[in-house]
């Protein structure tokens, strides 16, 4: 009996040790903007339901969050399309997984604002010779200015760009230090409600469909913990579907977690989240060619091989099994993108589809 009792205690000790070893806290970095769904996955308990212990860490800028990932302080981060292209071109050891929020004509992301009493600036082309407050080089909105000037038929050098963080843009505009700002939710709503400016044009005018960000994980961690990565993917897809189906409640959760006033979060715009997690590859290719045009990237010798390594293989390994488990859902919003031609793609959309899009 003593031997049996000792064996039971020993087995129980092994189980406890195994549980402790498995319960690694997964640290995810994100920024204080409304297009990142990890807040919802945490708040609604999707991580816990899928057996994960997740800690969200807030960063004020994308580069600082990425630095946390690359240093090993984080296992995952939500970062933008141009950041993904840069990381892939440099051969950084990461995987690009679940798509984050995206802008669409029905769910526009950024907007150009001018001062409330401004009457002479009626279109983007009227910003020629003006000062534009924008995020610094290397960010999504700064990159998209290249699309805007191309469509407006003016040179980018005709603008005087003033680098400024989102929270300070409204004050800079109202004080007359800039003539316009390029801002994003929830900061556009803040600017509007504070009487600091009025909306001139949405950026879907020159960028109608774009993946804004995606979940990026360290390759070494993911290869050692494939089951946890699939649980992470599942949690995020569940959060995306929930947001699309519960927009007002999602606004309230994001507002509380980002410490926004009720009047702001009730009126702020919400991004659209692809319902099946897969990234919209024509948008990623469009980023690549736009970065080349904007001279923010040197041409990649074999871009198809890079896309295979960083997007297609991870999707097959981590997203396909999750979709096989929870089922693929119709996504007419994403399907709408496949019917148009993106500004920086030389060929038809069909030339740039991922395996899951064919």
The beta strands (E) that lie in the chain are given as: 25-30, 53-58, 76-80, 94-99, 102-103, 111-114, 131-134, 160-163, 180-183, 198-202, 210-211, 213-218
User: Are the C-beta atoms of residues 211 and 284 closer than 8 Å to each other?
Assistant: yes
State the CATH architecture for 2-102+211-357: 3-Layer(aba) Sandwich (3.40)
Distance from C-alpha of 253 to C-alpha of 259, rounded to nearest angstrom = 10
Tokens matching residue 228: 């946890």
Q: What is the pLDDT of residues 280-318, one digit of tens each?
A: 999 999 999 999 999 999 999 999 999 999 999 999 999
pLDDT score at 65: 87
Distance CA 218, CA 206 (A): 33
* Prior bond of 186 cis (ω within 30°): yes
Closest by CA to 254, choosing from 232, 271, 241, is: 271
Q: Where in the chain is the domain with CATH 3.40.190.10?
A: 2-102+211-357, 111-205
Long-range CB pairs of 148-156 (<8 Å, 24+ gap) are 148/112, 148/124, 148/203, 148/205, 148/206, 149/124, 150/206, 150/343, 151/124, 151/205, 151/206, 151/343, 152/123, 152/124, 152/125, 152/127, 152/206, 153/125, 154/125, 154/127, 154/128
Domain 111-205 fold: D-Maltodextrin-Binding Protein; domain 2 (3.40.190)
What integer pLDDT is reported at residue 30 of this predicted model? Answer: 86
Task: Report the C-alpha gap between 32 and 59 in whole angstroms.
Answer: 7
Question: What's the pLDDT at 211?
Answer: 87
What confidence score (pLDDT) does residue 1 get?
Answer: 45
| pLDDT tens, N- to C-terminus, the chain (358 residues) | 444 334 333 334 333 334 334 458 999 998 877 778 999 999 999 999 999 999 999 887 777 888 999 899 999 998 888 899 999 999 999 999 999 899 999 999 899 999 999 999 999 999 999 999 999 988 889 999 999 999 999 999 999 999 999 999 999 999 999 999 999 999 999 999 999 999 999 999 999 998 888 999 999 999 999 999 999 999 999 999 999 999 999 999 999 988 999 999 999 999 999 999 999 999 999 999 999 999 999 999 999 999 999 999 999 999 999 999 999 999 999 999 998 889 999 999 999 999 999 8
CA distance 44 to 220: 29
């Amino acid at each position: 009996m003593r031997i049996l009792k000792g064996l039971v205690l020993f087995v129980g000790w092994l189980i406890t040790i195994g549980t402790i070893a498995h319960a690694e806290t997964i640290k995810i970095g994100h920024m204080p903007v409304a297009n990142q769904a990890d807040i919802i996955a945490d708040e609604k308990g999707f991580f816990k339901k899928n057996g994960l212990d997740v800690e969200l860490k807030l960063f004020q800028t994308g580069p600082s969050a990425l630095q946390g990932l690359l240093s090993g302080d984080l296992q995952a981060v939500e970062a933008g399309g141009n950041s993904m292209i840069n990381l892939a071109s440099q051969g950084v050891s990461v995987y690009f997984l679940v798509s984050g929020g995206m802008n669409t004509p029905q769910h526009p992301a950024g907007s150009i604002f001018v001062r409330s009493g401004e009457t002479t600036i009626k279109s983007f082309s009227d910003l020629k010779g003006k000062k534009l407050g924008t995020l610094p080089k290397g960010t999504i909105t700064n990159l998209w200015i290249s699309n805007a000037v191309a469509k407006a038929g003016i040179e980018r050098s005709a603008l005087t760009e003033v680098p400024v963080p989102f929270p300070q843009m409204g004050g800079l505009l109202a004080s007359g230090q800039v003539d316009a700002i390029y801002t994003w939710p929830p900061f556009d709503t803040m600017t509007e409600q504070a009487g600091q400016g009025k909306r001139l044009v949405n950026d879907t005018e020159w960028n109608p469909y774009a993946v804004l960000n995606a979940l990026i994980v360290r390759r070494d961690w993911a290869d050692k913990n494939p089951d946890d990565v699939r649980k992470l993917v599942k949690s995020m897809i569940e959060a995306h579907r929930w947001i699309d189906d519960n927009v007002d409640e999602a606004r309230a959760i994001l507002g509380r977690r980002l410490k926004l006033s009720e009047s702001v979060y009730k009126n702020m715009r919400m991004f659209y989240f692809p319902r099946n997690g897969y990234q919209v590859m024509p948008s990623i290719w469009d980023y690549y060619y736009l970065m080349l045009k904007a001279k923010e990237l040197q041409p990649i010798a074999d871009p198809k091989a890079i896309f295979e390594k960083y997007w297609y293989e991870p999707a097959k390994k981590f997203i396909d099994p999750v979709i096989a488990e929870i089922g693929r859902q119709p996504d007419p919003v994403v399907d709408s993108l496949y019917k148009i031609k993106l500004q920086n793609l030389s060929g038809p959309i069909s030339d740039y589809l991922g395996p899951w899009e064919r």
